[in-house]
Structure 1
Amino acid sequence: MRATQLETLAKIRAAVGYLGERDHFAWWQSAFFSAASRTFLAPIFAKTQLLAQVTGVTQAAARIHDERIGVGQVYHLFRLPEPTEQAIHRLLMDAKLSAEITFLTNDKDVALQFLRQHAEPAPVTGMGPTRLGNATDLAKPKTWRSVVNHYLHGFEQSAQIFPYFVEVP
C-alpha cells in the first residue's frame, strides 16, 4: 500500500472512530476524542496524544466490530493485516498528518464532510456485518471508498453497518 493511501486510511479510521464514539453516533462507548479526554491525556501523552486517542478508539471500535463480525480470517477498518497496522502506527507520529487528523476529529460536521469526500457514491443495502470482499481487495483505493460509503450511510441513517473482508485460503 502506498504512503498516501495509508495516510488516507489513517484519516478514515480516525474520522469513523471519532464519529462512532458516544458523543456522536454511539456505536461504541468510548470518548477518546472528547474535550475531557483531551484534557486528561494531554499531560500524560504530551507528544503522542493523538496516537493515544486513535489507538484507544481503534481498540474500542475493533471490539464492537469483532463482536458483530467475529474474529479469525476477517479484516475490517479497525483490524487490518499486521504490516498495515504497523505502517499506520508509524504514520500517526508524523506532525503534519497528526494536525490533519486533529482537525478532522474536532468537529462532527468536518468529519462527516471528510467521509462524504472519500465515499464512493453507490447504493448501500443492509445493516450490521456486511462483507465487501476478500483480503486481497484491501490494497485497492476503490475498496476504501466503498467502506467509507457504508459507514457514512450508517451514520446518516442511524443504522450500524460493519463492513469487512475475509481471508480466502
Structure 2
Amino acid sequence: MENQLIAKLAQLRYLVGFLGEKTQHNWWSSNFLTPSTKKMLEFTFPRTAHLAQYEAVSAAAARIHDDSIGVGKSFHLFRLPEYLEKALVDKIQSAQAEDFESLLVSKDKALAELSEIIGSASLTGEGPISLGQVKASQWEQSIAQMASAYFQAFNNGTKSFPYFQSDV
C-alpha cells in the first residue's frame, strides 16, 4: 500500500481513537491521547511516548470493536492485516509527535479533520457495518467510507463499527 494511504489510515486511527475516548464520546473508557497522559508516558518512554499513546488507544479501541464485531474472518480499523499494522507502526515511529497531535486539540477540530477524510463517501448505520472485502485498488474509498460511518455515529450519538470481511 502506498505511503499516502498509510498516512491517511494512521490519521483516521488517531482521530477515531481520540473521539472514542472517555472525555469525547466515551466509546471506550481511556484517555490515552491527552497531553497529561503524554507527559506521564514521557517519563518511561522519553523518545517514544507518542508511539505508546498510539498503541494504547489502538488496543482499547480494538477491544471494543472486537466485542461488537467478533474476531474471526474480519478486520477493522483497529485490527488490520499484519502488513498494514507494521506499516502503521513504521509511519508513527518515523513521524514527529506534532504531526498527529495537531489533529487532537479539541473534539470539534477532530470532527472537522474526520469530515475532511470523507470526501464524497457516505456510510451510515449503527453497530457492526460490513464493508465487504476490500481490494488493493479500493483502499482510498474504503478509508473514506469508514470515516463517514464514524463521523455519522459521533454526530448522532450512536456507535458504529465498520469492518471488512476477509477470506484469510
TM-score (norm 1): 0.92
Deviation of the 1:39 alpha carbon: 2.2
Aligned to 1:104: 103
Separation (CA, whole Å) in 1 of partners of 2:93 and 2:144: 24
Deviation of the 1:42 alpha carbon: 1.6
Aligned to 1:82: 82
Instruction: Give unmatched runs, 5+ long, in structure 1.
Output: none
Aligned to 1:17: 17
Q: Which moved more, 1:113-122 or 1:54-63?
A: 113-122
Which letter does structure 1 place at the counterpart of 2:140? Answer: P
CA contact (8 A) 1:120 1:148 kept: no
CA contact (8 A) 1:59 1:78 kept: yes
Query: What CA deviation, in whole Å up to 9, does each residue of 1:49-108 have, x standing for no partner?
Result: 111101000000000000000001111000000000001001101234x32211112322
Which letter does structure 2 place at the counterpart of 1:162? Answer: F
Superposition pairs of residues 1-169 of structure 1, within 5 angstroms: 1-96=1-96, 98-136=97-135, 140-168=139-167
Query: What CA deviation, in whole Å up to 9, does each residue of 1:114-138 have, x standing for no partner?
Result: 1010114455443000101214368
Which letter does structure 2 place at the counterpart of 1:93? Answer: Q
CA contact (8 A) 2:74 2:166 kept: yes
Q: Which moved more, 1:138-147 or 1:4-13?
A: 138-147
Identity of aligned residues (%): 36
> SS in structure 2 opposite 1:164?
strand
> SS in structure 1 opposite 2:79?
coil
CA contact (8 A) 2:125 2:153 kept: no
CA contact (8 A) 1:20 1:26 kept: yes
CA contact (8 A) 2:123 2:146 kept: no
RMSD: 1.7
TM-score (norm 2): 0.93
Instruction: Give unmatched runs, 5+ long, in structure 2.
Output: none
- Classify 1:153/1:138 alpha carbon distance in 2 versus 1 (closer, same or farther; 3 Å): farther
Separation (CA, whole Å) in 2 of partners of 1:46 and 1:67: 33
